């Protein structure tokens, strides 16, 4: 398909003929030449994650899932803004594509590889223009692997679109990177005997024949990997606490005693959120809750507003960890995946502080036990740049937490908590990097912390047991 050219001669003014008594030529405003949006947003760990030239504002997802065959089909309307004048752009999608429209008109498209959906609108998109892009698609997510990842969890009775660092391309087209957050509105159609749970608030549930379509909407923008849905048979509870609605769901496939214990833990969510607010500042979202799945995900994940927990992973510290992520990772998102310790280290540290305030050992004691007990080989791993294959290594969590506690020791209680609250307030609804955190800490404390962060995150060696390293 041939795009319509919008550009005059680049680098030169166009002279108009003189009319009547006109005494000087007029120059036509230069229009930027349309460019090709890059197939990645620029993350070194995952070169094809996200896409260049676009800023997504909203996803309106409507998927249908067939439990018998494992087939998913859907239509997603994406409202995006061109950040430069584009003759083509990409989205991330692992499913088969049926059709694409841009601004209501059919657009040419192709899949240069399984991950990328390349879209060529009939006319270039001018920089700053917002349009709706509608993609229709289908496929079997459980059969899809991408770069060694299989992100879909499902069996004959339950499905959970939950994973990290990637899940969105298995069930909707996305600009799949934490740098580009958008409002997510989800409609899922499944048999009417199934419940659907997702982010935000339950808007509606409409039964039509043997099927039902459930709509959830999250008010605040989120990173694509934090959007989720699960469908199956669930025991649910809902209410309000501190002016916010909460909604919990536990799979009825779990044994009654496990189900009762899991629901009891989820009901502690408002209490734990209040405890976190006392230390971190206001809860960043308008709803809260949790889901305990019946499929064996073997991990818990901080899905925005509603973490999803594995069937036997609902201990109090796990709930604290996932709720702390609502600040660290969800509100303040990663600018690049290499800084994953900012998410996992702070969330694990808040587990340590919970234990400290509930008579279960101090965070400082955990720091010193960690520092004394690690073998030299463990220190060789640089958690400030772990590599894509070790994002969720245990060292990222535990040394991340140890780094935060060491910073607490170095700065003292007053300055440390002032740094944490300033970081969360200043970067709220944005992204953050280790360098930006260090800058906030240095500004608030008045200390030079370059050597401290380098030693704990990047040196590959055990930090010295000194006051400068938070171990004096």
For the stretch 92-105, pLDDT in tens is 999 999 999 999 99
Neighbours of 450 (CB within 10 A): 11
Confidence class for position 359, pLDDT limits 50, 70, 90:
confident
End-to-end CA distance of the chain: 68
Q: With 70 as the cut, is the pLDDT of residue 220 above it?
A: yes
Kindly report the average pLDDT of the chain as a whole number. 93
> What Cα–Cα distance (Å) separates residue 466 from each residue in 283, 402, 442, 462?
35, 14, 19, 12
- A 10 A CB-CB count for 242 gives 11
- For 128-149, the pLDDT digits (tens) are 999 999 999 999 999 999 999 9
Write down the pLDDT at residue 8.
30
Instruction: Give the tens place of pLDDT for each residue, 49-64.
Output: 999 999 999 999 999 9
Query: How far is it, in rounded angstroms, from Cα 184 to Cα 78?
Result: 10
CA–CA dist 110, 185 (Å, integer): 26
Which of helix, strand or coil describes residue 313?
Answer: coil
Handedness of CA 335, 340, 344, 346 (dihedral sign): negative
Nearest residue to 262 via CA among 326, 298, 315: 315
Long-range interactions of 340-344: CB distance < 8 A, separation 24+ = 340/386, 340/391, 340/392, 340/396, 341/383, 341/384, 341/386, 341/396, 341/399, 341/400, 341/403, 341/434, 341/457, 342/400, 342/432, 342/433, 342/434, 342/437, 344/392, 344/396, 344/397, 344/400
Phi-psi region of 42 (alpha: psi -120 to 50; beta: other; left: phi over 0): left
pLDDT band at 43 (very low <50, low <70, confident <90, very high): very high
With beta carbons less than 8 A apart as the criterion, state whether 306 and 258 touch: no
User: For residue 413, what pLDDT band results from cuts at 50, 70 and 90?
Assistant: very high
Q: What is the mean pLDDT of residues 373-391?
A: 96
Task: Report the CATH architecture of 233-326.
Answer: Orthogonal Bundle (1.10)
Does the pLDDT at position 29 exceed 70? no
Provide the pLDDT confidence category of residue 28 given band limits of 50, 70 and 90: very low
How much of the chain is helix, strand and coil, in % rounded to 5?
30, 30, 45
Torsion sign over Cα 129, 165, 285, 306: positive
Mean pLDDT over 322-343 rounds to 98
Which residues of 140-276 form beta strands (DSSP E)?
153-154, 159-161, 183-191, 195-198, 201-208, 211-217, 229-232, 234-241, 244-251
Q: What is the pLDDT of residues 297-324, one digit of tens each?
A: 789 999 999 999 998 878 999 999 999 9
Of 284, 289, 249, 244, the closest CA to residue 269 belongs to: 289
The pLDDT of residue 13: 33
Question: What is the per-residue pLDDT for 69?
Answer: 97
Region of poorest pLDDT, from 31-35, 198-202, 249-253? 31-35
What does the pLDDT read at residue 24? 45
Q: Confidence band (pLDDT; 50, 70, 90) for 472?
A: confident
Instruction: Quickly state the pLDDT bin for 30 (edges 50, 70, 90).
Output: low
Q: Indicate whether 27 pLDDT > 80.
A: no
Q: Which residue has the higher pLDDT, 29 or 467?
A: 467
Count of other CB atoms within 10 angstroms of residue 385: 17
Tokens 């994940």 label which residue? 301
At residue 297, the pLDDT reads 76
Question: Going by C-beta distance under 8 Å and a sequence separation of 6 or more, which residues neighbour residue 386?
Answer: 338, 340, 341, 393, 395, 396
CA distance 275 to 301: 20
Say how far apart CA 226 and CA 178 lie, in whole Å. Answer: 9
Tell me the mean pLDDT in the region 59-71. Answer: 98
Q: Are residues 8 and 17 in contact, defined by beta-carbon separation less than 8 angstroms?
A: no
| Contact call for residues 448 and 414 (beta carbons, < 8 A) | no
Q: Residues of CATH 2.60.40.1730 domain(s) within the chain?
A: 34-232
Domain range 337-469, its CATH number among 1.10.390.10, 1.20.140.10, 1.10.3720.10, 1.20.1290.10? 1.10.390.10
Q: Is the dihedral of CA 34, 134, 178, 110 positive or negative?
A: negative
| Percentage, residues of the chain above pLDDT 70 | 93
How many CA atoms lie less than 13 Å away from 130 in the CB half-sphere? 8
Please give the helix or strand (H or E) that residue 108 lies within, else none.
Answer: strand 108-110
**Distance, CA of 407 to CA of 352 (rounded, Å):** 14
Instruction: Kindly indicate the confidence band of residue 14, based on its pLDDT and cuts at 50, 70 and 90.
Output: very low
Angle between helices 450-457 and 434-445 (to 10 degrees): 140
More confident residue, 325 or 30: 325
Higher pLDDT, 32 or 394: 394
**Position 6 pLDDT exceeds 50:** no
CA separation for the pair 371, 386 (Å, rounded): 19
- C-alpha 296/C-alpha 309 separation (Å) is 10
Other residues' Cβ atoms within 10 Å of the Cβ of residue 327? 28
Neighbours of 397 (CB within 10 A): 21
Domain with CATH 1.10.390.10 in the chain: 233-326, 337-469
CATH class of the domain whose range is 34-232 = mainly beta
Query: What's the confidence (pLDDT) of residue 31?
Result: 58
Predicted local confidence at residue 448, as pLDDT: 98
Please give the model's pTM, rounded to 2 decimal places: 0.91
- Per-residue pLDDT of 147-206, as tens digits, reads 999 999 999 999 999 999 999 999 999 999 999 999 999 999 999 999 999 999 999 999
Per-residue pLDDT for 5 more than 70?
A: no
| pLDDT at residue 4, as a whole number | 29
pLDDT level of residue 11 (50, 70, 90 thresholds): very low
How much is the average pLDDT of 435-459?
98
pLDDT recorded at residue 175: 98
Angle at 301 between CA 298 and CA 306, to 5 degrees: 125
Residue 126: CB atoms within 10 A of its CB come to 15
Please compute the mean of the pLDDT values over residues 58-73 and round it to a whole number: 98
């Amino acid at each position: 398909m041939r795009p319509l050219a919008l550009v005059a001669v680049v680098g030169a003014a166009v002279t108009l003929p003189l009319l009547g008594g006109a005494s000087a030529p007029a120059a036509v405003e230069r229009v930027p030449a349309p460019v090709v949006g890059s197939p990645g947003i620029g993350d070194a760990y995952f070169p094809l994650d996200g896409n260049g030239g676009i800023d997504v504002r909203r996803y309106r997802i409507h998927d249908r899932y067939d439990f018998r065959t494992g087939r998913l089909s859907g239509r997603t309307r994406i409202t995006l803004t061109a950040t430069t004048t584009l003759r083509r752009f990409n989205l991330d999608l692992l499913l088969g594509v049926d059709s694409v429209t841009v601004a209501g008109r059919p657009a040419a498209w192709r899949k240069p590889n399984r991950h990328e959906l390349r879209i060529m609108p009939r006319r270039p998109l001018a920089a700053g223009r917002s349009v709706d892009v509608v993609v229709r698609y289908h496929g079997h997510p459980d059969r899809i692997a991408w770069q060694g990842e299989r992100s879909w969890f499902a069996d004959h009775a339950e499905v959970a679109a939950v994973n990290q660092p990637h899940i969105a391309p298995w069930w909707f087209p996305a600009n799949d990177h934490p740098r580009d957050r958008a409002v997510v509105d989800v409609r899922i159609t499944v048999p009417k005997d199934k419940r659907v749970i997702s982010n935000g608030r339950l808007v509606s549930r409409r039964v039509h024949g043997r099927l039902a379509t459930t709509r959830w909407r999250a008010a605040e923008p989120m990173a694509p990997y934090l959007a989720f849905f699960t469908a199956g048979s669930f025991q649910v509870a809902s209410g309000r606490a501190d002016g916010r609605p909460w909604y919990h769901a536990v799979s009825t496939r779990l044994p009654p005693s496990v189900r009762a214990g899991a629901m009891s833990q989820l009901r502690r969510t408002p209490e734990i959120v209040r405890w976190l607010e006392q230390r971190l500042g206001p809860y960043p979202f308008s709803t809260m809750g949790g889901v305990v799945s019946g499929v064996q995900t073997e991990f818990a994940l901080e899905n925005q507003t509603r973490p999803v927990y594995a069937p036997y992973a609902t201990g109090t510290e796990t709930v604290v960890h996932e709720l702390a992520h609502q600040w660290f990772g969800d509100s303040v998102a990663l600018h690049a995946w290499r800084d994953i310790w900012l998410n996992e280290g702070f969330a694990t540290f808040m587990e340590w502080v919970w234990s400290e305030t509930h008579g279960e050992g101090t965070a400082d004691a955990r720091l010193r036990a960690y520092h004394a007990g690690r073998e030299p080989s463990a220190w060789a791993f640089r958690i400030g740049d772990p590599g894509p294959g070790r994002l969720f290594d245990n060292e990222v969590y535990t040394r991340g937490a140890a780094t935060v506690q060491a910073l607490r020791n170095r700065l003292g209680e007053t300055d440390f908590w002032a740094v944490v609250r300033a970081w969360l307030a200043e970067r709220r609804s944005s992204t953050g990097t280790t360098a930006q955190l260090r800058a906030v800490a240095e500004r608030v404390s008045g200390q030079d912390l370059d050597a401290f962060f380098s030693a704990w995150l990047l040196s590959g060696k055990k930090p010295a047991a000194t006051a400068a390293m938070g171990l004096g």
